[in-house]
């Protein structure tokens, strides 16, 4: 028998590859079926990747939830994951088992983004001493620089005044608020990290925002995480995430300039100074997470997480105001009552929370209606039954959990009108504010957003100041903008314009 050559050899190779993929599929499916909740049938090699719309993951999860219930499994290539939906399942995992769901799954691309054993930052860091050290440092440092105190409130209020001035300069003409909101929120974070505020026409500020926008659009990480073998292709790792690397280079430049002006004999001016002081204390301690490499990762984490989400939420809130002008009219009395309170720079929010209730409700409603992207955590506890009623299968140590926060914010068993903008979700029969357990846009448990107090303050003061000064409307002659989100690294509103007319 002659040797196989040419087309015959190619055909045999393809047949063998298909056979091996099918064997792999049957073996894995049989093994996983006994361990994981029901889920859609995976494809050989790809798993369920083609069955998920990564441009609208929450919609894909919602459809699968109707088929398989609040808890179902997915196979992302060869990696299994369990998706949790609804308040009961997510609360049980993140709150009642907070210790066991406190870890983060380590992704293959992390090392190509600068993360390493001693430089994991704080957001993606694995649960352990380094994460606890950095979270404790970040929270205490922000508190020392005014988080929860009148000084930071004055700081944010002054930035809100600058934002209102920029809105007023548009003179009632149509404009997109997105860039101005980005600049205002970026300045708050920059002040905390670098003790520096940029003017709105500063080219470096524009560069930061452009790089952040490009960074959020980079999608190569998903493919490389589920098919990490691609990272072994010579030259490929150096070409992925160009915006991320350019952003880190810019942060390095800012950090270098900051070091040159630092005086160790003086009290820390900002978070960066405080971190550098800890680096000096930790010299000679190889177990410490305070080092130059981790400084840039922590700064990048706080910068990106602290800016993008808050700015997007404000953009959603203003979009909802022009789509629901009746809410603005209902707020006019509240705005008049608190006009002097908000503009008094040293007035404390907690003293006026009830007075400003009418202004807090719309921004909270926007959170319920717009939803959040799923969060990844990793089960670090022992092998136990899945901690959700009616699920007898076991949750194995190291399993990746996908907590679908959008399903909580739209849970029909909790919210009266989960798919509509409805400020009444936060009011009782007497019109008093009601805190809702299902409102968890900052997640919950030990990995809940560490910047939540700052974000709430920014949202509250920026939104209050804008509603106090302006009436917002859809520009004359323009169609009513859509309220369907654009999915990427987070859910953002579609591009829109508005008119801001002084009250």
Query: Which parts are annotated binding residues for heme?
Result: 449
Rg of the chain over CA atoms, in angstroms? 25
Distant-in-sequence, close-in-space partners of 200: CB < 8 Å, separation ≥ 6: 162, 166, 180, 183
Q: Which residues pair with 43 in a beta bridge?
A: 47
Contact 465, 131 (CB under 8 A): no
Which DSSP letter does residue 96 get?
A: I
Q: Which two tokens stand for residue 249?
A: 């280079």
Helix, strand, or coil (residue 82)? strand
C-alpha to C-alpha distance for 427 and 246, rounded to whole angstroms? 46
Beta pairing partners, 487? 491
| CA–CA gap between residue 4 and residue 120 (Å, rounded) | 51
Give the Cα separation of 341 and 356 in Å (integer): 9
Long-range contacts of 16-19 (CB under 8 A, 24+ apart): 18/44
Could you tell me if 291 and 282 are in contact, meaning their C-beta atoms sit under 8 angstroms apart?
yes
Report the Cα 11 to chain-centroid distance in Å: 47
CB 375 within 8 A of CB 399: no
N residues, the chain: 503
Binding residues, as ranges, are 449
Q: Give the separation between CA 217 and CA 488, rounded to whole angstroms.
A: 6
Name the nearest CA neighbour of 47 among 14, 67, 74: 74
Q: Which two tokens stand for residue 126?
A: 């694995």
Q: How many CB atoms lie within 10 A of CB 273?
A: 21
What 8-state DSSP symbol labels residue 349?
G
What is the DSSP code string of 247-289?
HHHHHHHHHHHHHHH--TTSPP-SHHHHHHHHHHHTTT-TT-S
Indicate the SS3 state at residue 234: coil
| Cβ–Cβ < 8 Å for 436, 115 | no
Q: Which of 230, 185, 226, 232 is nearest to 208 (CA)?
A: 185
CA-based nearest residue to 498, from 173, 183, 182, 161: 173
Q: What's the number of CA atoms in the CB half-sphere (13 Å) around residue 45?
A: 9
Tokens of residue 484, six digits: 């369907």
As a whole number of angstroms, the distance between CA 13 and CA 20 comes to: 11
């Amino acid at each position: 028998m002659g040797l196989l050559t040419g087309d015959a050899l190619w055909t045999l190779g393809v047949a063998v590859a298909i056979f091996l993929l099918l064997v792999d599929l049957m073996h894995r499916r049989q093994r996983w079926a006994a361990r994981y909740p029901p889920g859609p049938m995976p494809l050989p090699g790809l798993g369920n990747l083609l069955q998920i719309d990564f441009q609208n993951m929450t919609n894909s999860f919602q459809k699968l939830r109707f088929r398989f219930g609040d808890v179902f499994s997915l196979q992302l290539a060869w990696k299994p994951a369990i998706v949790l939906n609804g308040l009961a399942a997510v609360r049980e995992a993140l709150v009642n088992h907070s210790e066991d769901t406190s870890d983060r799954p380590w992704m293959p691309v992390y090392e190509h983004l600068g993360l390493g054993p001693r430089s994991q930052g704080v957001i993606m860091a694995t649960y352990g001493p380094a994460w606890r050290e950095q979270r404790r440092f970040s929270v205490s440092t922000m508190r020392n620089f005014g988080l929860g105190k009148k000084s930071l409130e004055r700081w944010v209020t002054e930035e809100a005044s600058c934002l209102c001035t920029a809105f007023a300069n548009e003179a009632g003409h149509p404009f997109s608020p997105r860039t101005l909101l980005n600049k205002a929120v970026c300045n708050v974070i920059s002040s905390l990290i670098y003790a520096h505020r940029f003017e709105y026409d500063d080219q470096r500020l524009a560069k930061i925002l452009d790089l952040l926008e490009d960074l959020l659009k980079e999608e190569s990480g998903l493919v490389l995480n589920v098919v990490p073998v691609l990272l072994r292709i010579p030259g490929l790792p150096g070409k992925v995430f160009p915006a991320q690397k350019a952003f880190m280079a810019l942060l390095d430049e800012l950090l270098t300039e900051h070091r040159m002006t630092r005086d160790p004999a003086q009290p820390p001016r900002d978070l960066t100074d405080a971190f550098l002081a800890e680096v000096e204390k930790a010299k000679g301690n190889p177990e410490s997470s305070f080092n130059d490499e981790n400084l840039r990762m922590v700064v990048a984490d706080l910068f990106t997480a602290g800016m993008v989400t808050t700015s997007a939420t404000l953009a959603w809130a203003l979009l909802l105001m022009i789509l629901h002008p009746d809410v603005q009219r209902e707020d006019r009395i509240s705005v008049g009552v608190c006009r002097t309170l908000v503009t008094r720079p040293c007035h404390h929010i907690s003293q006026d929370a009830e007075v400003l209730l009418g202004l807090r409700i719309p921004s909270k409603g926007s959170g319920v209606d717009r939803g959040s992207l799923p969060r990844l955590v990793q089960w670090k506890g022992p092998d136990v039954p899945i901690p959700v009623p009616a699920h007898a299968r076991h949750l194995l140590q190291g399993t990746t959990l996908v907590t679908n926060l959008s399903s909580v914010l739209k849970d029909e068993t909790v919210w009266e009108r989960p798919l509509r903008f409805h400020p009444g979700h936060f009011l009782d029969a007497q019109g008093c504010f009601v805190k809702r357990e299902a409102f968890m846009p900052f997640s919950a448990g030990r990995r809940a957003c560490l910047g939540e107090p700052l974000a709430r303050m920014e949202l509250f003061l920026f939104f209050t100041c804008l509603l106090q000064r302006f009436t917002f409307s859809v520009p004359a002659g323009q169609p009513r903008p859509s309220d369907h989100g654009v999915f990427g690294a987070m859910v953002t509103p579609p591009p829109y314009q508005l008119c801001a007319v002084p009250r």
